[in-house]
Amino acid sequence: MQQETICRGRFAPTPSGKMHIGNALTALLGWLQMRRLNGRYILRIEDIDEHRSRGELVDELIRDLKWLGLDWDEGPGVGGSFGPYVQTERKALYEHALAKLNEARLLYPCYCSRADIAAAASAPHGLASEGRRYPGTCRHLTKEEAQRKELHKKPSLRMKVPKQAVAFTDEIAGHQIYALEKSGDFVVRRADAMISYQLAVVVDDALMGITHVLRGADLLDSTPRQLLLYEALGYKPPHFAHVPLIVDAEGKRLAKRNRGLSLSFLRGQGIQPQRIVGWLAWTAGLISSPEPVSPSELVQSFDTARITPEPIRLTHTALKMLFTPLPTLQ
């Protein structure tokens, strides 16, 4: 008799700023998804970019999650058999993956600077998360040319992308098709030896047995690159669901510098966590009005099909619903 697969999801924040309501929405929806599926919810700290990450924010992040009523089955403070649950403690795993990709001749050294790429005539903007398209300058360097360049500059490592498009179906955004060739070969290790997000997240999710990735819509266009890495490394990809971003009235995404919408600020204003949870569930389309509710009360009715795929605008009315006690929508 075949053993039933246990669903595994995760919340994987970067501790580079205070947790705001956009982060809280992703954390809440991921928690609801796993609790609805009787799965396991993992907390992983993505601090691979040590220049941006701040260790003292991890404790604050954990406090914010607990205050909202969210718990996790594996991760910091809990442990688990798939750790470590902090990226800076997993560097050997990333190096092993790089070696495997290199053996398959899927990587090559790149000596270009950002200025070189920006100056290239054939370099329009690529994927939003990666900046301009890489024109392939170093892809066909001879061994001798590469050795000469390395005398002057440490290279990054780039992953070769295929000519064929990558297609996948997202639980919220629907069917997606991306021509990776239009965005160019992408970096998997920077010139300063820092592992890229694209590689680290694939290795972490695969080795932690993650079956469902629920994250912000800003990472939707990273998915085809990650699917390419899953295939190259011999990993089975998870199901993807990209939830809407919370944006300001002009449509600009929230940043961690928006302190007025951080959970610590809202808590300091005396706003109860049940009000925030209810407001988040309402903005995402899970409930009809922003009434106070605990996460556990939302589990049985949770369905990704109910989540709006459109960005959530922080209009005056929406903010009033958060800051002013109103029992129902008018």
Is residue 302 marked as binding?
Answer: no
Is residue 110 marked as binding?
Answer: yes
Is residue 54 marked as binding?
Answer: no
Is residue 230 marked as binding?
Answer: no
Is residue 257 marked as binding?
Answer: no
Is residue 253 marked as binding?
Answer: no
Is residue 7 marked as binding?
Answer: no
Is residue 146 marked as binding?
Answer: no
Q: How many CA atoms lie within 13 A of 115 on its CB side?
A: 0
Is residue 105 marked as binding?
Answer: no
Is residue 108 marked as binding?
Answer: no
**Which residue do the tokens 């061994």 mark?**
143
Is residue 323 marked as binding?
Answer: no
| Binding-site positions | 10-14, 46, 110, 112, 134, 138, 197, 215, 256
| Binding-site positions for Zn(2+) | 110, 112, 134, 138
| Binding-site positions for L-glutamate | 10-14, 46, 197, 215
| Binding-site positions for ATP | 256
